[in-house]
Amino acid sequence: MTEKDILTDGTYRLRAPEPEDLDVLFNMENDSSIWMVSGNAVPYSRYQIKKYIQQSQHDFYTDRQIRFMIEREADSVVMGTVDLTDIDPYNGRAEVGIALLSEYRGQGIASAALKIVLGYAKRVLRLRQLFCLVPADNETSVKLFASNGFGESGRLQQWLVHEESYSDVLILQKFF
């Protein structure tokens, strides 16, 4: 794999957000069904998202995060996002998160995007590890990360609130 094609597997491509992605990002950020895991509990305005796209340096040293749009190569349809956040170049780690639009879930797209971003994190960013925090009862996400080499390294008890109950979160890590 060359540097040129490190962000694609031939079917899906990861790319930087563009102004045309405003509606997709607006809908994803304001999907209250995923707020529990995103750490967001307030809606974003179109203006805020537009400003984010315009002002992002897309430099992990400056922003400490990188957002990629997951796009199908055949027709350039955007299917979701994969984020590297809390990037710590000194210690060689970052948190990874994936969100798909509902109509693209359960089709293997998240796994394909995760494989691509793993290669990028290892070969381009030269990180030593990625980690994620996954609700213990989110079997789909736990399976996704486990099948891509992430292992459980801890559990945060009663970490996330949903309606009137709390759920545990698993700390999953992938070492390169």
| pLDDT tens figures, 117-137 | 999 999 999 999 999 999 999
pLDDT at 63 over 80: no
Q: Is residue 134 part of a domain?
A: no
Q: Is residue 158 part of a domain?
A: no
Domain tally, the chain: 1
pTM: 0.88
pLDDT of residue 79: 96
Q: Is residue 29 part of a domain?
A: yes
pLDDT of residue 26: 81
Domain interval for residue 122 = 12-127
CATH code of residue 101: 3.40.630.30
Q: Is residue 154 part of a domain?
A: no
Mind listing the pLDDT tens digit for each residue in 66-99?
999 999 999 999 999 999 999 999 999 999 999 9
Q: Is residue 86 part of a domain?
A: yes
What's the mean per-residue pLDDT of the chain? 88
Q: Is residue 145 part of a domain?
A: no
Task: Reduce the DSSP state of residue 25 to 3 states and report it.
Answer: helix
